[in-house]
């Protein structure tokens, strides 16, 4: 056996050992040192290189049993830790930057709240503007850590400023429908600005858009977890403050709650980035669990509706609920494909996905047919246009998704086409939200 | 001679601690010492020594430091701690008791197969 040959063998053995999740590089160094010394000793005794290697490996024990023994001795290593305590200086700096932005967002929100409390502005103005003090701060955070060119920063800032000025100049009534619509759609619109900053301005690249979708899913999960922890904290704080009366609780509600809601947006984003390569993504796991369940629900519902004919009595107020349903189905598809190898062929999950999408489309078409057949019964309002528009956009998305899924299952189209379709569709969503925020209020006379 | 697996496992900790009580040592040399002491009778899967050493380190019975071998390779050296010495003394008492008890009942009546 030549020297190179023996080095390859040792390298392969080391790689096999390292596949055990409780074996660290240091452990592999230690074992490799042992192996090399044993080989050297056996060669000195007159064995050939190959014989020495085989005997030494055998003496060290089967790789599977060895790694299993390491796992027993270091069970903690099987739980990958996101250690913040022993962070490197670089990590500590990223932590400081993140905390600074979280604090900035929290302070800005408090300033706006004090303005509202001091009746300088009304509470509806507060709720309209509060998202400008949260999401653009998150976008700024990404602009800073991505070191983007100033032209792109200026473009993003101008866009946000333009929208802020426009919606504040709109003469919308405080309790009007358009005011509520704009307040609800602004965070979504600003989330697309966050996306622009997240991908470092490379919005044309499908892969970067997919990264942003992955980020959004993980962010939502982390935010929900932080919110749960925050709710427990707030509840217990209220309990402890009970003897002081309602005033003390109100102080906490006023000062801690809004700051926490704003700051957690940045903290969750930082967490997603920090643990990106450490912990498996959660959104695809949740998707894998819920896709079959949703598929069953949707198929049963579609059959039942069609057979019983209940779709003819569809209440139009339920349309927003249907938008949510279609959005969930799109999310199930997107996060399902986000974790798969885009070069691989189809699997059973794709068939389940296809069933879910098909059933959702049938349900939605029934709803739309029922609505359009009675279109004369009611006119268009801003609310209905917003709900209907979103519904049609989602329906088109799902119809094409179904086409790609069918071709994927038939083996005539790779999964990457479906991924491209979804990432390519993002501007349509962004454009529609922009229409709802900027065009619908004037069209409907700010009612 | 085949020695029962459980017996080997029971011996492993006091044996390693006793070898380290002689002087600071590293994995491969510890195993060589085991072979030398048992005259080759004690068969041990070499790799299993390392999880054992790491377990002893976590219990605070030995302390590990990185050093270099003669060839300039990274090598982990193990040294017994005071807690390790106390543990070794305790183990020694237990083994002495086992030895004495068995020795009395065996006497010279049962021949030792060679």
Per-position DSSP letters for B16-34, written without gaps between them: HHHHHHHS-EEHHHHHHHH
Q: Are residues A136 and A172 in the same domain?
A: yes
Q: Are residues A95 and A13 in the same domain?
A: no
User: How wide is the angle at C-alpha A277 spanned by C-alphas A276 and A280, nearest 5°?
Assistant: 75
* Tens digit of pLDDT at every position of chain A (447 positions): 456 677 888 888 888 888 877 788 888 888 888 889 889 989 898 888 888 888 888 888 888 888 888 888 877 776 655 555 444 556 678 888 999 999 999 999 999 998 888 777 778 888 889 999 999 999 999 988 888 888 888 989 999 999 999 999 888 877 888 898 999 999 999 999 999 999 988 888 888 999 999 999 999 999 999 999 999 999 999 999 888 888 888 888 889 999 999 999 999 999 998 877 667 788 888 898 999 999 999 999 999 888 887 777 777 677 888 889 999 999 999 998 887 765 666 788 889 999 999 999 998 888 888 777 766 666 778 888 888 899 999 999 999 999 999 998 888 888 888 889 999 999 999 999 999 999 989 988 887
Q: Are residues A206 and A344 in the same domain?
A: no
- Read off the CATH number of the domain in which B78 is found: 1.10.10.10
Q: Are residues A195 and A269 in the same domain?
A: yes
Instruction: Identify the domain containing residue B73 by its residue range.
Output: 5-105
* Spatial distance between the Cα atoms of A198 and A272, rounded to a whole number of angstroms: 12
- Contact: B46, A61; criterion CB under 8 Å: yes
- Contact: A33, B27; criterion CB under 8 Å: yes
Decide if B78 is inside a domain. yes
**Chain B residues near residue A29 by CB distance under 8 angstroms:** 74, 76
Decide if B111 is inside a domain. no
In sequence order, what are the beta bridge partners of B26? Answer: B77
- Contact: B73, A31; criterion CB under 8 Å: no
Decide if B95 is inside a domain. yes
**Chain A residues near residue B48 by CB distance under 8 angstroms:** 61, 66, 69
Number of domains, chain A:
3
**Chain A residues near residue B50 by CB distance under 8 angstroms:** 27, 30-31, 34, 70
Decide if B113 is inside a domain. no
Decide if B54 is inside a domain. yes
- Contact: A38, B28; criterion CB under 8 Å: yes
- Contact: A69, B75; criterion CB under 8 Å: no
Give me the phi and psi of A83, to 5 degrees please. -75, 125
pLDDT for residue A175: 80
- Contact: A33, B73; criterion CB under 8 Å: yes
Q: Are residues A147 and A218 in the same domain?
A: yes
Decide if B114 is inside a domain. no
Question: What residues contact A166, with CB distance under 8 A and at least 6 apart?
Answer: A438
Decide if A166 is inside a domain. yes
CB of A434 closer than 8 Å to CB of A167: no
Decide if B112 is inside a domain. no
Q: Are residues A430 and A295 in the same domain?
A: yes
Decide if A296 is inside a domain. yes
Strand B62-68 vs strand B25-26: parallel, antiparallel, or unpaired? unpaired
In sequence order, what are the beta bridge partners of B25? Answer: B78
How is residue B49 written in tokens? Answer: 């020594």
* Spatial distance between the Cα atoms of A423 and A417, rounded to a whole number of angstroms: 10
- Contact: A33, B52; criterion CB under 8 Å: no
- Rg (C-alpha) for chain A, rounded Å, is 28
For an interface test with B, the pick among A16, A24, A26, A34 (most B C-beta atoms closer than 10 Å) comes out as A34
Decide if A84 is inside a domain. no
Q: Which of A29, A31, A33 sits opposite B47 (nearest CB)?
A: A31
Q: Which of A36, A60, A73 sits opposite B51 (nearest CB)?
A: A73
Instruction: Identify the domain containing residue A370 by its residue range.
Output: 283-443
For an interface test with A, the pick among B26, B27, B28 (most A C-beta atoms closer than 10 Å) comes out as B28
* Spatial distance between the Cα atoms of A159 and B45, rounded to a whole number of angstroms: 68
DSSP classification of residue A378:
S
Q: Are residues A72 and A104 in the same domain?
A: no
Question: What residues contact A365, with CB distance under 8 A and at least 6 apart?
Answer: A395
* Spatial distance between the Cα atoms of A122 and A61, rounded to a whole number of angstroms: 74
3-state secondary structure of A74: coil
3-state secondary structure of A343: coil
Number of domains, chain B:
1
pLDDT for residue A275: 79
Look up tokens 């969930």; give the residue.
Answer: A328
pTM: 0.73
Q: Are residues A297 and A269 in the same domain?
A: no
A119-122 long-range contacts (CB < 8 A, ≥24 apart) are A122/A174
ipTM metric: 0.85
**Chain A residues near residue B42 by CB distance under 8 angstroms:** none
Nearest CA in chain A to B57: A73
- Contact: A66, B69; criterion CB under 8 Å: no
Give me the phi and psi of B65, to 5 degrees please. -135, 150
Q: Are residues A431 and A305 in the same domain?
A: yes
CB of A424 closer than 8 Å to CB of A334: no
């Amino acid at each position: 056996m030549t020297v190179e040959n023996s080095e390859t063998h040792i390298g392969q053995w080391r790689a096999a050992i390292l596949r055990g999740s409780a074996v660290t590089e240091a452990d592999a160094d230690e074992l490799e040192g042992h192996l090399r010394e044993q080989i050297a000793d056996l060669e000195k005794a007159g064995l050939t290189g190959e014989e020495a290697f085989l005997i030494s490996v055998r003496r060290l024990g089967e790789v599977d049993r060895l790694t299993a023994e390491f796992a027993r001795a270091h069970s903690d290593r099987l739980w990958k830790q996101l250690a913040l305590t022993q962070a490197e200086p670089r990590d500590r700096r990223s932590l400081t930057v993140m905390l600074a932005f979280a604090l900035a967002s929290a302070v800005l929100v408090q300033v706006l709240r004090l303005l509202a409390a001091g009746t300088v502005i009304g509470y509806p103005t507060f709720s309209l503007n509060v998202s400008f003090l949260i999401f653009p701060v998150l976008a700024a955070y990404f602009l800073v850590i991505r070191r983007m060119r100033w032209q792109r920063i200026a473009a993003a800032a101008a866009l946000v400023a333009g929208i802020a000025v426009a919606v504040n100049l709109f003469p919308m009534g405080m309790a009007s429908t358009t005011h509520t619509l704009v307040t609800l759609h602004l965070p979504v619109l600003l989330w697309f600005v966050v996306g622009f900053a997240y991908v470092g301005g490379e919005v044309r690249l499908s892969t970067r858009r997919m990264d942003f979708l992955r980020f959004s899913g993980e962010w939502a999960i982390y935010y929900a977890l932080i919110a749960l922890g925050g709710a427990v904290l707030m509840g217990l704080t209220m309990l402890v403050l009970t003897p002081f009366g309602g005033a003390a609780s109100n102080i906490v509600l006023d000062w801690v709650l809004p700051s926490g809601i704003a700051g957690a947006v940045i903290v969750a984003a930082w967490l997603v980035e920090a643990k990106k390569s450490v912990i498996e993504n959660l959104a695809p796991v949740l998707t894998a669990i819920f896709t079959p369940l949703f598929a069953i629900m949707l198929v049963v519902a579609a059959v039942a509706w069609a057979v019983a004919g209940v779709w003819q009595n569809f209440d139009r107020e339920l349309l927003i609920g249907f938008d949510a349903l279609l959005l969930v189905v799109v999310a199930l598809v997107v996060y399902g494909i986000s974790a798969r190898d885009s070069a691989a062929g189809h699997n059973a999950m794709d068939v389940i996905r296809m069933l879910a999408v098909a059933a959702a489309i049938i349900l939605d078409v029934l709803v739309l047919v029922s609505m359009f057949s009675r279109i004369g019964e009611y006119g268009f309002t801003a609310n209905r246009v917003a709900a209907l528009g979103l519904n049609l956009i989602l329906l088109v998305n799902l119809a094409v998704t179904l086409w790609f899924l069918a071709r994927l299952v038939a083996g005539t189209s790779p999964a990457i086409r479906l991924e491209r379709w979804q990432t390519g569709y993002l501007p349509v969503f962004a454009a529609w939200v922009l229409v709802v925020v900027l065009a619908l209020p004037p069209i409907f006379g700010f009612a | 001679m085949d020695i029962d697996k459980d017996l080997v496992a029971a011996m492993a900790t006091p044996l390693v601690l006793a070898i380290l009580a002689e002087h600071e040592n590293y994995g491969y040399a510890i195993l060589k010492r085991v072979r030398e002491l048992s005259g080759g009778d004690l068969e041990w899967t070499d790799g299993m020594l390392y999880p054992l050493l790491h377990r002893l380190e976590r219990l605070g019975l030995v302390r590990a430091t990185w050093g270099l071998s003669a060839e300039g390779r990274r090598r982990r050296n193990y040294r017994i701690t005071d807690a390790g010495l106390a543990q070794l003394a305790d183990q020694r008492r237990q083994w002495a008791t086992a030895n004495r008890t068995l020795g009395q009942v065996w006497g010279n009546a049962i021949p030792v197969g060679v």
